[in-house]
């Protein structure tokens, strides 16, 4: 069966509704909330908002990348703590930056293939709570101490200790470094900037626009439609109601003062034109269309198609340029049919590079084996409410956030088709097309 055939058969899959927490840069407002708590708060609120009986849920699939040490299969924990009955199964998915998009596509596959009617999907991430890990020599030493039976043996083990053993491995740093090509994610963005002649100024301008759009969406109340304000520990005496990241009056001058972070000498990628590491959760409810109708729901939209693609790990930022044409083909659509595009802003350089490649005939011919360019991704329809540079990128959550923000905006603007897409560390791209119902 071709992917076109797959998406044409079987029941329609509706995105019925969704909610997310406000996003907060790691170490700020949400730092004391665990990934589980973020997910539980959001899912519980969503179930109430929809008046959805948790007993009707068939499966819970949630994305997460930095698996908390006390929450193996975090999806199951979130499901149980949110009031989803014990007999409903749950599993966690990990496709790096696209983990939550992976959860959405899992839900689509389940419903399309008749295995489920209602699936909870989404993602949660607390990058504030990613652990420091003991080095291997230190771990070995602990092991020896534990197995040593006599005091002498214990003492003997202790003599092997060296202060260097205490240098921790920072889990988040390891996670953001490509295990195969050895480049840090920021270095992959530097590569794209250099190869495609994307200047510091291009990137900083892009970043400023992201902030401007996100600030506007916050101030107009647009984001209220998708945010579930969350009470803040330790005292729970105030709520976080808005995203922390968007900065009013973010200027080129201010951004221009920042030093390149990943390549101090020759680089152009700064923390100002890249997304910050962030905490947040997002949950969506997918339903088989006729089931949703029977329950009286109106959807945000339906999933028309999706696609995944792989590419060179060192150019992972171009992922969307590979996966989007596949998704468009599967849907029988073209880029020009898209009324809105949500493209994750891991790095400004990477987004601009994707725009360039999509419009490039040469890229299409050399890399995609297509005679014509995929099509321009116009600035006017790209990330109209800002993106991860302003809002932040809670890695395991973003995929669902893109779909939620896209579907809500499609409804507001009465758009027929929209594309949500992101690049994925490790060299992949994921794209999903939403259609108005």
Partner 1 sequence: MNGGISMEKTQHSKSASSDTGSTFRVVDYNTTFPGVFGLHFDLPGQKVNKLDDKVMGELDAQIQKLATRSDIKALVIFSDKEGIFIAGADIQMIQGVHDKETGTKLAASGQTVIAKLEKLKFPVIAAVNGACMGGGTELALCCKMIVTSDSPSTKIALPEVNLGILPGFGGTVRLPERIGLQAAMDYILSGKTMDGQKAVKVGLADACVPAQDFKNRVLKIAADVAAGKFRSQKRAVTGTAKLQKTLLEMNPIGRAVLFSQAKKMILSRTRGKYPAPLKILELLNKQAGASRDKKLKLESIAFGELAVTDVSKRLIELFFATEGIKKQSGVPGFKLDPKDKVTRMGLLGAGVMGGGIAQLMAHRNIPVRMKDISYAGLSAGMAASSKIFAGLVKKRKLTKREADIRLGLISPTLDYSGFGAVDLVIEAVLEDMNVKKKVIKDVEPLLAKNTIFATNTSSLSVTEMATACERPENFVGMHFFNPVHKMPLVEVIRGDKTSDRAAAMIFELSKKLGKTPIVVKDGPGFLVNRLLMPYLNEASYLMAEGAPIVELDEHVLDFGMPMGPATLLDEIGIDVAVKVAKVLHQQLGARALPCDLNDKLVAAKLYGKKNGTGFYLYDSKGVRGELNPKIYSTLGVTPRSPSRAVKEEWIPRMIYLMINEAALCLHEKIAATPEDVDIGMIMGTGFPPFRGGVLRYADTVGLPAVVNKLQELSKKVGPRFTPVQPLVELAKAGKSFYSK
Determine contact, residues 188/343, Cβ cutoff 8 Å.
Answer: no
Active-site residue, from 211, 275, 282, 393: 393
**97 a catalytic residue:** yes
Instruction: Report how far apart, in Å, the C-alpha atoms of 265 and of each of 257, 261, 269, 317, 381 are.
Output: 15, 10, 11, 22, 35
Which one among 237, 253, 380, 414 touches partner 1, defined by CB under 8 A? 237
Q: How far is the CB of 235 from partner 1 (least distance, A)?
A: 6
Q: From CA 231, how far away is CA 423, in angstroms rounded?
A: 32
Least Cα distance to 187 among 108, 266, 103 occurs for 266
Q: Assess 236 for contact with partner 1 (CB under 8 A).
A: yes
Task: Specify whether 94 is catalytic.
Answer: no
Q: Which of residues 40-69 bind partner 1 (CB under 8 A)?
A: 40-41, 44-45, 47-51, 53
d(CA 204, CA 194): 15
The Cα–Cα gap between 32 and 131 comes to 13
Under the binding rule (CB under 8 A), the answer on residue 89 touching partner 1 is: no
Which candidate in 41, 97, 211, 282 is catalytic?
A: 97
Would you say 37 or 196 has its CB closer to partner 1? 37
User: Does 145 interact with partner 1 (rule: CB under 8 A)?
Assistant: no
Could you give the angle at which helices 151-158 and 136-147 cross, rounded to 10 degrees? Answer: 170
Which of 174, 195, 201, 241 is in the footprint of partner 1 by CB under 8 A? 241
Residue 238 touches partner 1, criterion: CB under 8 A? yes
Q: Which of 11, 31, 67, 83 binds partner 1 (CB under 8 A)?
A: 83
As a whole number of Å, the CA-based R_g of the chain is 22
Q: Which is nearer to partner 1, 164 or 234 (CB)?
A: 234
At which residue do the structure tokens 């470094």 appear? 177
Q: From CA 127, how far away is CA 68, in angstroms rounded?
A: 10
CB of 46 to partner 1, least distance (A): 10
Task: For residue 85, state whether it binds partner 1 (rule: CB under 8 A).
Answer: no
Would you please indicate which residues are annotated as catalytic (active-site) residues?
97, 393, 423
Q: Footprint of partner 1 on this chain (CB under 8 A)?
A: 34, 37, 40-41, 44-45, 47-51, 53, 81, 83, 229, 231, 233-239, 241
């Amino acid at each position: 069966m071709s992917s076109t055939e797959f998406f044409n058969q079987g029941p329609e899959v509706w995105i019925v509704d969704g909610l997310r927490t406000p996003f907060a840069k790691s170490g700020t407002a949400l730092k004391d909330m665990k990934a589980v708590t973020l997910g539980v708060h959001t899912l519980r609120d969503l179930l109430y908002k929809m008046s959805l009986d948790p007993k009707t849920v068939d499966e819970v699939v949630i994305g997460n990348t930095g698996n908390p040490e006390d929450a193996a299969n975090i999806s199951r924990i979130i499901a149980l703590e949110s009031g989803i009955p014990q007999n409903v199964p749950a599993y966690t998915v990990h496709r790096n930056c696209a983990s939550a998009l992976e959860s959405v596509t899992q839900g689509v596959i389940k419903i399309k293939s008749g295995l489920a009617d209602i699936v909870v999907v989404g993602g949660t991430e607390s990058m504030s709570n990613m652990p420091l890990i003991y080095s291997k020599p230190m771990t070995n030493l602990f092991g020896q101490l534990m197995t040593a039976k006599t005091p002498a043996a214990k003492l003997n083990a202790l003599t092997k200790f060296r202060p260097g053993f205490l240098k921790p491995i920072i889990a988040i740093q390891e996670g953001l470094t490509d295990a195969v090509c050895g480049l840090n994610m920021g270095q992959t963005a530097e590569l794209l900037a250099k190869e495609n002649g994307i200047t510091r100024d291009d990137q900083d301008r892009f970043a400023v626009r992201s902030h401007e759009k996100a600030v506007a969406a916050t101030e107009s109340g647009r984001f209220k439609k998708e945010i579930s304000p969350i009470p803040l520990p330790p005292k729970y005496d105030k709520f976080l109601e808005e995203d922390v990241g968007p900065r009013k009056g973010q200027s080129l001058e201010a951004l221009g003062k920042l030093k390149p972070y990943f390549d101090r000498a020759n680089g152009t990628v700064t923390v100002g034109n890249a997304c910050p590491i962030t905490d947040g959760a997002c949950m969506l409810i997918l339903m088989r269309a006729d089931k949703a109708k029977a329950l009286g729901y109106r959807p945000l939209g339906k999933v028309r198609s999706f696609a995944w693609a792989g590419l060179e790990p060192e150019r992972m930022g171009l992922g969307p340029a590979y996966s989007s044409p596949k998704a468009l083909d599967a849907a029988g659509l073209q880029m020009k049919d898209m009324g809105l595009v949500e493209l994750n802003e891991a790095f400004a350089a990477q987004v601009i590079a994707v725009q360039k490649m999509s419009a490039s005939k040469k890229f299409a011919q050399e890399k995609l084996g297509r005679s014509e360019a995929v099509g321009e991704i116009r600035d006017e329809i790209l990330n109209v409410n800002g993106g991860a540079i302003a809002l932040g990128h809670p890695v395991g959550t973003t995929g669902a956030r893109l779909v939620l923000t896209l579907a809500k905006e499609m409804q507001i603007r009465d758009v027929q088709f929209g594309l949500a897409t992101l690049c994925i560390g490790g060299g992949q791209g994921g794209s999903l097309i939403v259609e108005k119902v």
